[in-house]
């Protein structure tokens, strides 16, 4: 008789309310794979977009979820340096390819679509995608790191080249990636300026070390305040639209802008400040295995992620609704008992 497990599955799009907890066959570790008994998983806006049908090449039914942490339950055929019982965290970036500069579009995809993901009691993943969990982190903290932490690390360091003593502007602080960018910036000895439309989120950002926090909704001329606060070496943005246009105004000559999203739509920018100031604009998404290993190493040196709320696996739909509300600060996590 085939063993079964609980999994949060999407059978039709329509938003978080379309998620349901099913009993499905437990996966097995194939060649070059390991089976992970998950203890926690974390939500990302990618998961929300999938439930809403706003993601390419959706297949259903599917177990959603990219982030997870747990223990090795079984090891498939092939070489693997770990052992059953090891506590691990999963790199959700599958099939990046051989070039650390850019993913291979023919092979790269992310756990949770189209491959079954982490909102389940077990998941089978390539053995190269599991890393030892930093000892000082709880399972919930470890599960919060992968996708958002990887995206943030590559944006701020690999692409943004932030150095100690520089100033970074982080637009729209509060979400998972932006919160990690703030953590990484302060850990690296940089000065951080953040914006948000929520005073509560700005206060929490200041508690994490933000040097200047500006409400862009109540202060429409926020760019002037940023410019008056001194040179900005790097802007990390996921908004696009008018925010990106203003980013060109505030970044210093020779500065950099790293873009990892476009929630406010396409931007119409002035070309003069772009070429006159010798500004470098870099696009970025997810990260290479080298990025993931380097990112995870920072959490072995005392850094901890910010958790917003922890839900049970059975309450995944409610957790997704909470994410959709945009009220969170940090990561929303599922505990898998």
Give the tens place of pLDDT for each residue, 104-160.
Answer: 999 999 999 999 999 999 999 999 999 999 999 999 999 999 999 999 999 999 999
Q: What is the pLDDT of residues 63-102, one digit of tens each?
A: 999 999 999 999 999 888 899 999 999 999 999 999 999 9
Name the pLDDT band for 301 (thresholds 50, 70, 90).
confident
How would you classify the pairing of strands 212-215 and 62-63? Answer: unpaired
> Which pLDDT score, from 0 to 100, does residue 263 have?
87
| CATH classification for the domain delimited by 4-145+299-335, as one of 1.10.10.10, 3.90.180.10, 3.30.70.2190, 3.40.50.10860 | 3.90.180.10
End-to-end Cα, the chain, rounded Å: 23
Calculate what percentage of the chain has a pLDDT beyond 70.
Answer: 100
Residue pair 250/275 in contact (Cβ under 8 Å)? The answer is: no
Name the pLDDT band for 246 (thresholds 50, 70, 90).
very high
Q: Can you list the alpha helix ranges (DSSP code H) found in the chain?
A: 45-51, 139-144, 146-153, 176-187, 199-207, 222-228, 241-250, 271-276, 289-298, 316-324
Matching fold, domains 4-145+299-335 and 150-283: no
Average pLDDT of span 152-175: 97
Q: What is the pLDDT of residues 177-210, one digit of tens each?
A: 999 999 999 999 999 999 999 999 999 999 999 9
Structure tokens belonging to residue 270? 């002035």
Q: In the chain, where are the structural domains located? A: 4-145+299-335, 150-283
Average pLDDT of span 289-316: 96
- Per-residue burial over 55-72, b if 16 or more Cβ lie within 10 Å, else e, is eeebeeebbbbbbbbbbb
> Regarding the domain with residue range 150-283, which homologous superfamily does it belong to in the CATH classification?
NAD(P)-binding Rossmann-like Domain (3.40.50.720)
Name the pLDDT band for 302 (thresholds 50, 70, 90).
confident
Average pLDDT of span 26-35: 97
Average pLDDT of span 265-271: 90
pLDDT above 90: residue 279: yes
pLDDT above 80: residue 1: no
Q: What is the pLDDT of residues 51-60, one digit of tens each?
A: 999 999 899 9
The CA angle 259-264-268, to the nearest 5 degrees, is 75
Q: What is the mean pLDDT of the chain?
A: 96
Q: How many residues does the chain have?
A: 337
pTM tops 0.85? yes
Average pLDDT of span 269-274: 91
Instruction: Kindly report the number of other CB atoms within 10 A of residue 175's CB atom.
Output: 24
């Amino acid at each position: 008789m085939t063993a079964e497990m609980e999994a949060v599955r999407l059978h039709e799009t329509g938003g978080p309310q379309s998620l349901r907890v099913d009993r499905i066959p437990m996966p097995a570790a194939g060649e070059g794979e390991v089976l992970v008994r998950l203890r926690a998983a974390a939500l990302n806006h990618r998961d929300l977009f999938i439930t809403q049908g706003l993601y390419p090449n959706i297949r259903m039914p599917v177990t959603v979820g990219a982030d997870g942490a747990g223990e090795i339950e079984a090891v498939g055929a092939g070489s693997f340096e770990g052992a059953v019982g090891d506590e691990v965290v999963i790199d959700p970036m599958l099939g990046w390819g051989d070039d650390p500069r850019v993913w291979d579009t023919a092979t790269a995809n992310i756990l949770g679509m189209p491959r079954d993901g982490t909102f389940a009691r077990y998941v089978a993943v390539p053995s190269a995608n599991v890393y030892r969990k930093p000892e000082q982190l709880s399972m919930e903290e470890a599960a919060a790191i992968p996708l958002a932490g990887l995206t943030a690390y590559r944006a701020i360091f690999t692409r943004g080249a932030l150095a100690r003593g520089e100033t970074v502007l982080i637009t729209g602080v509060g979400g998972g990636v932006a919160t990690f960018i703030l953590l990484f910036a302060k850990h690296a000895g940089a000065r951080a300026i953040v914006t948000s439309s929520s005073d509560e989120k700005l206060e929490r950002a200041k508690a994490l070390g933000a040097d200047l926090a500006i409400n862009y909704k109540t202060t429409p001329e926020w760019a002037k305040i940023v410019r008056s606060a001194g040179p900005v070496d790097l802007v990390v943005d996921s908004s696009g639209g008018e925010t990106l246009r203003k980013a060109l105004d505030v970044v210093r000559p020779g500065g950099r802008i790293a873009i990892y999203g476009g929630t406010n739509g396409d931007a119409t920018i002035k070309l003069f400040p772009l070429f006159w100031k010798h500004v470098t604009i870099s696009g970025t998404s997810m990260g290479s295995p080298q990025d993931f290993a380097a990112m995870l190493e920072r959490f072995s040196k005392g850094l901890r992620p910010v958790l917003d709320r922890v839900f049970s696996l059975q309450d995944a739909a409610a957790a997704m609704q909470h994410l959709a509300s945009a009220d969170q600060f940090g990561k929303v996590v599922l505990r898998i008992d």
